[in-house]
Chains A and B, each alone.
Chain A
């Protein structure tokens, strides 16, 4: 999905965040967001197969420069994409990294179009954290 393309309704949508992670994690998650909301084009999926740490950083930095986005979502705190993003964000308050992203996080983010992207990302992280539930063994539904 490019950084500036039509949504499912044909409306032009600007990218607002990068999603990066292991394997096809990013494209899968963005695909799911698009199926559910038609707003997947707000997100730029980045995969990093076979790249060394320096090239991962270079790729994410390039995607940020091309698109102007200031939000990076990654899959795993220990992941190479997270490490790269932390290097990119070192010493700046002008961008934000959310590590451990899940689908509810991104759904909240793409609907918060009226908010500044960084504020929307922070808000969505809280929503995503709260959206994890445990069902069974002990009865009832518990928030994780």
Chain B
């Protein structure tokens, strides 16, 4: 089929991704785009061991991902595009082909304000998300499939808390 979910999650591969989304969506591969993980064999092995044997994981830096995403979108299986931060996803959006983004987990760090139980954002990140939305990208937060997708406006206005 294609990449059925474009997710930002700072925990990258973990239970919600491989089980929570992976099982109901019949996910067979994950394209994990992260410059630091792509440069570390040890990190790749760590995340690969977190995925079930029937799920392939491909590790790419942003530059390689921009070149190779069309190939993954043409894959006959269901896949997830996964980044650990907003800026990485923004760079992929700018390369084209992404119409919706799932905010799955952006957790507490100094300088961030809590917007949802699992979404904390600083001003630059909020600006980046607004910019993506202004380009027509549907930005919603949804940690697991059974939860209601929360639109960006509701996240940032605080009505969703």
Interface residues of B in 1-20 (CB under 8 A from A): 10-15, 17-19
Q: Which residues of A contact B107 (CB under 8 A)?
A: 50-53, 55
Q: In angstroms, how far is the closest chain B Cβ from the Cβ of A66?
A: 21
Interface positions of B (Cβ within 8 A of A): 10-15, 17-19, 42, 46-47, 49-52, 105, 107-109, 114, 117-118, 120
The A/B interface has a contact count, at CB < 8 Å, of 52
- Knowing A78-B14, A87-B46, the reply to whether A52 touches B19 (Cβ < 8 A) is no
Q: A63 CA to B50 CA in the complex, in Å?
A: 23
Contact of A53 among B10, B51, B52 (CB under 8 A): B10
* Chain A, interface residues (CB within 8 Å), range: 10 to 19
| Residues 92 to 113 of chain A near chain B (Cβ within 8 Å) | none
Given A50-B117, A53-B10, A87-B46, CB of A76 within 8 Å of CB of B109 = no
Q: Does A2 belong to the interface (CB within 8 Å)?
A: no
Chain B residues near A86: list those with CB within 8 A. Answer: 46, 49
